[in-house]
Amino acid sequence: MADINPEDMPVGDIDETTPVEMRSLRKRWFGILALVVVAAALVWAIWFFLTQMGRVSTDNAYVGAETAQVTPLIAAPVAEVRVANTQPVKRGDVLVVLDPADARIEVAQAQSALAQAEQKYRQSRATVGAAQGRVAARGSEIEQARARLRDAEATLNRARIELGRREALISSGAVSGDELTAARTAFQSAQAARDLARAGVASAEATQNAATGELQASAALVEGTTIGTAPEVLAARARLAQAKLNLERTVIRAPIDGIVTNRQIQVGQRVAAGTPIMTLVPIAAAYVDANFKEDQLAKVRPGQPVLLTSDFYGGDVEFHGRVVGFAGGTGAAFALIPAQNATGNWIKVVQRLPVRIALDPKELKEHPLRVGLSMTATVDTRGR
């Protein structure tokens, strides 16, 4: 191949770019690059302002709810269990039916005790009337005894006068000794009759006092009361009401709307009062406890909006809530064995404070959550 002489090449094929033009081109490209960097920084600043500025976030958040623990209020064998775990129930639905045989016997006994109490009250009322009659009868006896006393005193006065006359005539011989003796005997008999009449009056008065005491005692039992307000009747009615309530409690109903969880009861099992038999979880009233670091809470206030996502549904489903309040202490403060940092090699550990977040009921209805699920919570501290 023949060698090519540069002088023989066309003039237009030789790069004639000057150093000045090269510098100008570089400046132009650096300017474009600077504009791109500034634009990117501006876009990032706008994104940060719109999505991150004034917001604090944590993935240490979990779903909670005020669960209802179902416990029987009476002891009885289990006759029916009408629900199973994971089953949704409404408030008032029958969960468990206990054997009502013992409760029905208690109702019958209480009804009998009430009837006896009412009968006893009526007897007390009748006793008051009878006691009043006895008091009136004793009054008549006293009047009769006093009349006999007056008659005995009159007889005694006559006997005294007759004895005085005969004693006055004994010296003149006009009265015999037998007549004087008879007069003295009549006088002594009249004295004895008077004393006996006095004793009869005292006895009648004592009998009347006893009857009056009985009347007062009987009247005290029913004074100011009716058959509906008598203490014994009220107590018997209370026992009957308690027995009926225990009979109603043989049917255990759901106290709230929720999901049946942790069922621990079987047919035929005898349960004691207060023994937990199942738990109801109100998923429609779930909330979130978000554990924020202590240095994130300076601007967090109740009422601020919160954006939440759940690992259960993924990032495509967002929940909206509001800050309700703060816990009274960190989790470490209420631990079974609180941390004690009074040591020489103490290392500061950032603490977390639970923040209660209320969720939107409509969103919960569309996407139900379960207690214990993980959540990511972002609080907008600029909101009110």
Same domain, 90 and 202: no
Per-residue pLDDT of the chain (384 residues; tens, 9 = 90+): 445 454 454 544 444 557 777 777 777 787 888 888 888 888 877 766 665 566 889 999 999 999 999 999 999 999 999 999 999 999 999 999 999 999 999 999 999 999 998 888 787 777 766 666 766 776 777 777 778 878 877 887 887 877 777 667 666 666 667 776 777 788 788 788 888 878 877 887 777 777 676 666 666 666 667 777 788 888 999 999 999 999 999 999 999 999 999 999 999 999 999 999 999 999 889 999 999 998 888 889 999 999 999 989 988 899 999 999 998 888 777 776 666 666 666 677 788 999 999 999 999 999 999 999 999 999 988 865
Residue 289, in any domain of the structure: yes
Q: Same structural domain for residues 266 and 211?
A: no
Neighbours of 180 (CB within 10 A): 15
User: Is residue 27 assigned to a domain?
Assistant: no
pLDDT, residue 49, reads 66
Q: Rg for the chain (alpha carbons), in Å?
A: 54
Query: Which residues, 6 or more positions from 236, have their beta carbon under 8 angstroms from its beta carbon?
Result: 110, 113, 114, 116, 117, 118
Structure tokens at 378: 């972002």
**pLDDT for 322:** 94
Question: Residue 77: which CATH number?
Answer: 2.40.50.100
Q: What is the pLDDT of residue 344?
A: 63
Which residue range is the domain that position 262 belongs to? 69-97+245-279
Secondary structure (3-state) at 74: coil
Give me the pLDDT at residue 135, please. 67
Q: Provide the token pair at 60.
A: 């240490």
**Could you tell me if 89 and 132 lie in one domain?**
no
pLDDT score, position 165: 72
The domain total for the chain is: 3
Residue 288: give its domain's CATH number: 2.40.30.170
Predicted pLDDT at 222: 63
Pair 107, 239 in one domain: yes
Q: Which phi and psi angles does 139 have, rounded to 5°?
A: -65, -40
Residue that has been written with the tokens 């000045």 in this structure: 20
**Secondary structure of residue 98 in the 3-state scheme:** strand
The candidate with the shortest Cα–Cα distance to 368, out of 282, 263, 295, 284, is 284
Task: Supply 124's token pair.
Answer: 């007390």
DSSP string for residues in 129-189: HHHHHHHHHHHHHHHHHHHHHHHHHHHHHHHHHHHHHHHHHTTTT-S-HHHHHHHHHHHHH
One domain for residues 194 and 109: yes
How many helices (H) and strands (E) would you count in the chain?
A: 5, 14
Q: Does residue 123 share a domain with residue 88?
A: no
Domain boundary among 226, 256, 279: 279
- Same domain? For 196 and 302 the reply is no
| Residue 297: Cβ-neighbour burial (10 angstroms; 0-12, 13-18, 19+) | middle
In 226-313 the beta strands, taken as DSSP E runs, fall at 251-253, 258-261, 270-271, 278-281, 287-293, 305-310
The pLDDT value recorded for residue 218 is: 65
Type of residue found at 266: Q
Q: Are residues 77 and 199 in the same domain?
A: no
Are 230 and 358 in a shared domain?
A: no
Specify whether 129 is located in the same domain as 249.
no
310 within 8 A of 319, measured Cβ to Cβ: yes
Same domain, 273 and 224: no
- Indicate whether 240 and 253 sit together in one domain: no
Phi (first) and psi of residue 137, to 5 degrees: -65, -40
Say which CATH number the domain at 162 has.
1.10.287.620
